[in-house]
Amino acid sequence: MRSRTLTVLLTAGVLAAGCSTGVAAGGSAAPAVAWQECGPSLDCATLDVPVDHADPDGDTVGLALVRHRATDPAQRIGSLLYNPGGPGGSANEAVRTIDAAAGTGPWSPELLARFDIVGMDPRGVGESEGIRCLDDPTREENLALDLDPTLPGGMPRADLDAEARELIAGCEQGVDPALLANMATDDVARDIDLVRAALGEDRISYLGASYGTLLGATYATLFPDRVRHMVLDAAVDPTLWQNDPIDATTAQALGGERMLDAYLAACVEQGCPFGAGDPGAALDALVTRLEAQPLEVPAANGLPAGRLDGAAVLLGARIAMFAPSLWPVLTTGLLAAEGGDGSILLGLSTALSREPDGSPGGLLEANTAVNCLDRAVPTDPAVHDANAAEIVAAAPRFGGLTSYLMLTCAAWPVPNPDRFTGPLTGAGAPPILVVGGREDAQTPYPWSVAMADGLESGVLLTREGYGHGSYRASGPCVDTAVDRYLVDGTAPADGTVCAQEPAPSTLPMAG
pLDDT tens-digit map of 472-483: 999 999 999 999
Q: Catalytic residue at 79?
A: no
Q: What is the pLDDT of residues 365-405, one digit of tens each?
A: 999 999 999 999 999 999 999 999 999 999 999 999 999 99
How far apart (Å, rounded) are the C-alpha atoms in residues 46 and 233? 27
Please report which confidence band the pLDDT of residue 23 belongs to, taking 50, 70 and 90 as the band edges: low
How long a stretch of residues is the chain?
Answer: 511
Q: Are 336 and 312 in contact (CB under 8 A)?
A: no
Q: Which of 101-110, 238-247, 380-389 has the lowest mean pLDDT?
A: 101-110
Q: Catalytic residue at 3?
A: no
502-505 CB contacts, 8 Å cutoff, 24+ apart: 502/475, 503/465, 504/262, 504/266, 504/324, 504/327, 504/465, 504/466, 504/467, 505/266, 505/269, 505/270
Which DSSP symbol is given to 494?
Answer: T
Q: Is pLDDT at 343 greater than 80 in this prediction?
A: yes
How far apart (Å, rounded) are the C-alpha atoms in residues 435 and 445? 9
Mean pLDDT within 246-266:
96
Which DSSP symbol is given to 282?
Answer: H
Q: Are 97 and 106 in contact (CB under 8 A)?
A: yes
Q: What is the mean pLDDT of the chain?
A: 92
Q: Is the pLDDT higher at 295 or at 27?
A: 295
List the beta bridge partners of residue 115: 78
Q: What is the CATH number of domain 1-134+152-265+361-511?
A: 3.40.50.1820
How far apart (Å, rounded) are the C-alpha atoms in residues 472 and 470? 6
Q: Catalytic residue at 384?
A: no
Question: What pLDDT is recorded for position 197?
Answer: 96
CA dihedral (7, 10, 16, 22) positive or negative: negative
Please report which confidence band the pLDDT of residue 22 belongs to, taking 50, 70 and 90 as the band edges: very low
Q: Is pLDDT at 455 greater than 60 in this prediction?
A: yes
CA dist list (Å): 456 to 70, 273, 394, 449: 32, 49, 35, 13
* From 205, 403, 468, 483, active-site residue: 468
Helix 157-174 / helix 363-374 crossing angle, nearest 10 deg: 90
Question: What pLDDT is recorded for position 10?
Answer: 37
pTM attached to this predicted model:
0.93
Q: Is 177 exposed, middle or buried (0-12, 13-18, 19+ CB in 10 A)?
A: exposed
Question: What pLDDT is recorded for position 20?
Answer: 34
Q: Are 43 and 69 in contact (CB under 8 A)?
A: yes
* From 79, 108, 210, 474, active-site residue: 210
Q: What is the pLDDT of residues 42-70, one digit of tens each?
A: 999 999 999 999 999 999 999 999 999 99
Please report how many Cα atoms fall inside a 13 Å half-sphere around the Cα of residue 327, on the Cβ side: 28
Q: What angle do CA 496, 500, 505 make, to 5 degrees?
A: 145
Q: What is the pLDDT of residues 106-125, one digit of tens each?
A: 899 999 999 999 999 999 99
Kindly list the domain boundaries of the chain, sorted by start residue: 1-134+152-265+361-511
Amino acid of residue 358? G
CB neighbours of residue 503 within 10 Å: 15
Asked if the peptide bond before residue 298 counts as cis, ω within 30 degrees of 0, the response is no
Helical segments of 199-309, H only: 211-222, 238-243, 245-270, 279-292
How far apart (Å, rounded) are the C-alpha atoms in residues 331 and 257? 17
Containing 297, the helix (H) or strand (E) segment is strand 295-297
Q: Is pLDDT at 4 greater than 80 in this prediction?
A: no
Q: Are 109 and 350 in contact (CB under 8 A)?
A: no
* From 116, 440, 479, 483, active-site residue: 440
How far apart (Å, rounded) are the C-alpha atoms in residues 363 and 6? 11
Over 423-473, what HEC string results?
A: CCCCCCCCCEEEEEEEECCCCCHHHHHHHHHHCCCEEEEEEEEECCCCCCC
